[in-house]
A and B are shown apart, each in its own frame.
Chain A
Amino acid sequence: MLHAETTLVGVSTNMYSSSLYPYYAALDDRIKNKSIPVPGNWDFVNLESVIALQPDLVIVWSSQNEAIEALESHHIPVYAVMLNGVDDIYKEITDFGILLNKQERADTLITFTKNQIASINKTANNPLSVYFLWSSGMFETAGLKSTVNNVIVSAGCINACQSEQEHISINAETLIKWNPDVILLWSSDSHDPTDVMNNSSLRMVKAVRSKKIFELPSAFDCDLWTLKYQFAVAFLHESAYNNSYSVESLRSKRNSIMTFLYGKPF
């Protein structure tokens, strides 16, 4: 996004093995050819491989305390990331802009995203309540301190889960009590809206009765920990409030966002 891809000397292991590979392969020939080294992932870093790459900076999750200490003990600067909300995403982009001398591009990206979010009409008198469903299970959801909550609120809805927790496990009884207007599924190959529709214990839930159950189009397009969360916001708003929205209009929206962020719609 920052037009700084040539500075990359190593990427995360999951880049080559997950469903995200085709997208990143389209962005960088080194990823396409699997020639860029993969010295670790979110919970394991091969110190020797990282040192061999002689990076000027390593970006890791801030929870990897041991890896951070080990890297810093070898005088390798570390940028530790923890994304608990969209403000953290904006801060991350701003910081990377400064570190990579791409401040202007970082500002442009943030402004574009904020404008996209602001353009969404949130004038609904009775905002719909949304239950978000992670791919880890039917009763795994996100509370108020999460990027999911940012997406729901930005789309003009309210989170059915009012817990402060970032991730929370509930049960069917609680979901029936919450009785959400909309159920939004994280993109996954392990479930889809019909699983919710076919769960007989949820048949009285408003979202099930009105068939307002939607799955986010793809983990790449709706990555909630990047500026692409804006497409998740647009998708949720259109799905929840616009009964006559078309797949074509959403695709067009997606393509315009991706083109701005990456220079191509994929």
Chain B
Amino acid sequence: MNMRKMVVMSLYLIPIPVIIGSLFIGSAFHISLADLWQYYTVSHSTLSESAQIVLFDIRIPRILLVFLVGAVLSSSGGAMQAVFRNPLVDPFILGLSSGAAFGAALSVSFHLLPLIPSAFIFGILAAGTSYFAAMQNKEVSTVSLILSGVVVNGIFTALLTIVQFISDPFKLQSIVQWTMGNFHTASWEKIQISVLPMAAGLIVLLMYRWRLNVLALGDDEAQSSGVHVLRDKLILLLVISIACSAAVAVAGIIGFYGLIVPHIVRMIVGVDNKKLIPLCITLGGSFLVIIDDISRSLMSFELPIGIFTMLIGAPIFLFLMKKNHIGWNY
């Protein structure tokens, strides 16, 4: 096995050490691997009750939620770029993030619905509106879809601004913070709410990774290969919208993550979606966990994760881009 294959294989397995290592990272409580080992092999009393709560009720759900959100955003980004055959596309291109932000703002300001369902519903609504607005004669062109996404994004951003304008400073602060993404309120409850749509989305993307290669050839080529282009695109966009809406609903908006990570993965394994989608899941999830580890261990207070994804992710992306060529030749 050559070096490159070994690197790729290790990237498939990277979530295991990253997730285990993250259990022992935190600014407030020091819990070591030895402590955990003793907890399971000697006595449960070797860990204080507070440390047990920190480990099992706070860190584990947070790490799992971060991994899931990272995996969903990056694999969805990779799939969207293949479907649209456009390297600038990310999962939020259909206005999903601004729809979700509007839903969250409505919830914060007017309590019409709980925050997570409200963000989820409006995220789906925005993506659905973009899709159906772009549809002409039962066909959806890529350009129309991207343009309608931009317009719907603009509409929901305007609506969000109205809500922000009439909100009091406390609610305004909540809305702004939500739009920057955060995991400091991660909990088992949030995982319970979001795991089904996110896991289902990841499974469908894994199942469709072969077909993504055909779709990435273009509509005519895909059609002549026997692929039902319209149906497959609709299924993929629906699944991605549902999974990403769930991710955004529980974590807020983590901008550019779904754009950058697929490109990083493409620089490693090339454009083959059979490899790209699984690696987007493992590497995308792990990378976000590492970024969150840094954000929660650097200081005792929390900064929105969106800040760190850009400050850490963007330089890595630029470095890789300088060193390698962007892998974008289908």
Residues of A within 8 A of B (CB): 13-14, 17-18, 42-44, 134-140, 163, 165, 167-174, 176-177, 179, 186, 188-190, 200-201, 203-204
Contact = CB atoms under 8 A, between A and B. Distances in A.
A62 to B, nearest CB: 14
A177 B28 contact: yes
Given A200-B57, A204-B53, A171 B170 contact: no
A17 B171 contact: no
Contact of B170 (A13, A135, A165, A179): A135
Contacts of B303: 169
B182 A201 contact: no
Given A139-B302, A168-B301, A204-B53, A173 B28 contact: yes
A172 B300 CA distance: 11
B54 A173 contact: yes
Nearest to A14: B168
Contacts of B26: 173
Contacts of A17: 166
Contacts, number: 86
The 3 closest A-B pairs by CB, nearest first: A177-B28, A136-B174, A201-B57
30 contacts: A14-B168, A18-B168, A43-B172, A136-B170, A136-B171, A137-B174, A138-B185, A139-B184, A140-B173, A163-B301, A169-B177, A169-B182, A169-B302, A169-B303, A170-B300, A171-B302, A172-B57, A174-B300, A174-B301, A176-B29, A176-B50, A176-B53, A179-B50, A186-B170, A189-B111, A190-B111, A201-B57, A201-B187, A203-B53, A204-B53
Given A163-B301, A173-B26, A173-B59, A204 B50 contact: yes
Contacts of A140: 173
B27 interface: yes
B186 to A, nearest CB: 9
Given A173-B28, A190-B108, 13 more contacts: A135-B170, A135-B174, A136-B177, A137-B174, A139-B184, A163-B301, A167-B173, A169-B182, A169-B303, A172-B58, A173-B27, A173-B29, A201-B57
Nearest to A139: B184
A184 to B, nearest CB: 15
A44 B172 CA distance: 13
A131 to B, nearest CB: 13
B58 A173 contact: yes
B226 interface: no
A201 B169 contact: no
